[in-house]
Amino acid sequence: MKVIIPPIKSQGIKTKLIPDIAKYMPENFSGTWIEPFMGTGVVGFNLAIKDAIMCDANPHLIHFYQAIKDKKITPNIVREYLIQEGQNLLKNGEEHYYSVRTRFNEYADPLDFLFLNRAGFNGMIRFNKKGEFNIPFCRKPNRFAQAYITKIVNQVSVIAQIIHSKNIEFICQDFKKTIQMANQDDLIYCDPPYIDRHADYFNSWTEQDESQLYELLSQTHSKFILSTWHHNQYRQNEYIEKFWQNFIINTKEHFYHIGAKENNRNPMTEALIVNFENGIDNSFPYEKQIALF
């Protein structure tokens, strides 16, 4: 399966897991693909069949993709913007990066968001308590070489084709509202911030959030697929046993490039949790079952 890569990067992106998630798509699915935590959008852009509702609490992600949908951001606009800003970065180095960051935190231009995402340290998306983007510079003044700009422009072009060929609605809202929008024929894909792991996203994730997510997914009449972490070499995810043990749990070891230091980047066993099997919905929780992807 050829995986489409979106122009926005993030740590923990599910690019390498797309083929595995695809295996658990319901057979003959014709409903709406619903994502309460769209993040970079990589899963939905690859797997949504036709209709999709892609949501996130981070307004900057929604504004970026909505701008593509509205054709306010096009491949040509992105190319011209990155050529100009790349030249400024090459000339002025990190001083220019931080000037764009200040500008973005004041005006929230989606093109500036793209620039910061691709020129910031380690592809991280992180905001402080004031809602300000605070990732430092990657210390590569020549970041936007011609080949790199072309790569990003091509990613924007492919995503624009997907957005304009399908019925995709982008909404900035809390995950609870999104899950409650789902109907029986729909599929909810949840990729929340991994509890007890890292909080380099727009907001943190607590036990209360995990509990609310469990309650909503337990009550939904829709099919759902949930991504979370199962264990690593140091410890287990205690919330698997606490909340998700009555659903089907599928596991696979996966290596995440998370953390500033290389020795902090370790393999982790990923979990996909579902409430259906072989495309047949089940309104009642399953007995605990562990399977390999």
Going by the DSSP 8-state scheme, the letter that residue 241 receives in this structure is I
- Cα distance from N-terminal residue to C-terminal residue, the chain: 16
Look up tokens 């109907």; give the residue: 183
- Residue 166 corresponds to which tokens in the numbers above? 């399908």
For residue 5, tell me if it sits in a domain: no
Q: What is the CATH number of the domain that holds 220?
A: 3.40.50.150
Q: Which of 112, 140, 162 is the last residue of a domain?
A: 162
Regarding whether 250 and 142 lie in a shared domain, the answer is: no
Cα Rg of the chain (Å, integer)? 19
What is the reported pLDDT for 27? Answer: 85
Regarding whether 177 and 215 lie in a shared domain, the answer is: yes
Regarding whether 43 and 186 lie in a shared domain, the answer is: yes
What is the reported pLDDT for 54? Answer: 98
Q: Which of 120, 142, 162 is the last residue of a domain?
A: 162
For residue 65, tell me if it sits in a domain: no
30 in Cβ contact with 183 (< 8 Å): no
pTM across the whole model: 0.90
Q: What is the CATH number of the domain that holds 146?
A: 1.10.1020.10
Going by the DSSP 8-state scheme, the letter that residue 28 receives in this structure is T
Regarding whether 127 and 196 lie in a shared domain, the answer is: no
Regarding whether 225 and 287 lie in a shared domain, the answer is: yes
Regarding whether 132 and 257 lie in a shared domain, the answer is: no
Regarding whether 52 and 119 lie in a shared domain, the answer is: no
Domain count, the chain: 2
Taking the C-alpha atoms of 94, 96, 100 and 103 in order, what is their torsion angle to the nearest 10 degrees? Answer: 120
Regarding whether 212 and 120 lie in a shared domain, the answer is: no
For residue 192, tell me if it sits in a domain: yes
Range of the domain at 143: 73-162
51 in Cβ contact with 79 (< 8 Å): no
- Compute mean pLDDT per 10 residues along the chain, 293 residues long, and list them: 95 90 91 97 97 97 98 98 98 98 98 98 91 95 97 98 98 98 97 71 81 98 95 88 94 65 66 79 43 52
Regarding whether 278 and 213 lie in a shared domain, the answer is: yes
Q: Which of 143, 162, 181 is the last residue of a domain?
A: 162
Q: Which run of H or of E encompasses 43?
A: helix 42-47
Q: What residues does 226 pair with on adjacent strands?
A: 190, 273
For residue 127, tell me if it sits in a domain: yes
